[in-house]
Structure 1
Amino acid sequence: MKRLLKFGLVGVMNSVVDLGLFTVLVMTGTPAMLAQIISYMCGVANSYVWNRNWTFGKSSRQGRLIMARFAVLNLLALGVSAGMLFCLHEYLNIPVLYSKLASMAAGTMLGYAGSRYWVFKPGAEPVRETV
């Protein structure tokens, strides 16, 4: 439960970064899909630092494996959220900020499950060979 609460707090920070930047970019004329990519990646950078060091507390020796998994997970989540944003806004004509909020919810669910059970999963320590 403690880990879920930490993940939630990090998620709030990520959402502020993502939604705030997205809003500024869209309001200044940036196309929604480009704004989505930029703002999402800024949220991802924030998420990686906080979740790795605080929520899941993984050591630096695990860095490459965790970073690779985190990148794969977030590219998948970006694809899902961008696709959802595009469909909701472009095809269903839902206002862009409402579409963004819905896509963020989907990305959050995928992000938690992927982080908890794959990226930062307990016992995911890489095997260190001794010579």
Structure 2
Amino acid sequence: MGNHKKKKGPFQFMQFSVIGVANAAIDIGVLNLLLLFFHTDNQGLLLFYNTIAYTLAVANSYFWNASFTFRRSAEGSNWQRLTFIGQGIVSLGVNNFVFYIGNLLLGFIGIPNWLRYNIAKGLAMFLSFLASFFMIKYLVFRDFGAKKVKE
């Protein structure tokens, strides 16, 4: 039993990472489409675009992670949905904060807008991805039944 638990962690992280790549494509793709069609340098509007992109990626994340990565402990209960929304809001805060600060810092050193937005978005996605994984694993889809089996 101990070996199964050790394998589950890295395997779950691998599954979460594969889904994360799809989420990243949605996240950065939507941001770049919005910038292509509605270009702006306004920080408030950039955060709004980032929020739209991130929200679509999080919705995709919930569907795939509940269906595959954490399916053993995904109940689809109101509690899980609520905690998933809560972690999504916290992760969005991390994402927007890093995106905003990254844009400011990269702007000071003169990196062109499009490149600056995408570098800041990449940093934001990475840090919010890590925060999201641990919140989803240990709060949202925590396997409450695992403790009962051991006892």
Identity %: 23
What residue is the counterpart of 1:108 in the other structure? Answer: 129
Q: What do you get for the CA RMSD once the two structures are aligned?
A: 1.7
The structure richer in helix per residue is 2
Q: Paired residue for 2:66, among 24, 39, 52?
A: 52
1:1-131 equivalences in 2 (<5 Å): 1-29=10-38, 31-57=45-71, 58-60=73-75, 62-93=76-107, 95-123=116-144
Instruction: Letter of the 1:41 partner, please give it.
Output: T
What residue is the counterpart of 2:6 in the other structure? Answer: none
Q: Deviations over 1:23-58 (max 9, x none)?
A: 111122253211101000000100001111111004
CA distance in structure 2 between the aligned counterparts of 1:49 and 1:91, rounded to whole angstroms: 35
Structure of greater Rg: 2
Runs of 4+ in 1 over 4 A off after TM superposition: none
Unpaired runs of at least 5, structure 2: 1-9, 40-44, 147-151
Unpaired runs of at least 5, structure 1: 126-131
CA distance in structure 2 between the aligned counterparts of 1:68 and 1:116, rounded to whole angstroms: 15
CA distance in structure 2 between the aligned counterparts of 1:10 and 1:124, rounded to whole angstroms: 25
> Could you tell me the TM-score, scaled by structure 1's length?
0.87
Instruction: Letter of the 1:97 partner, please give it.
Output: N
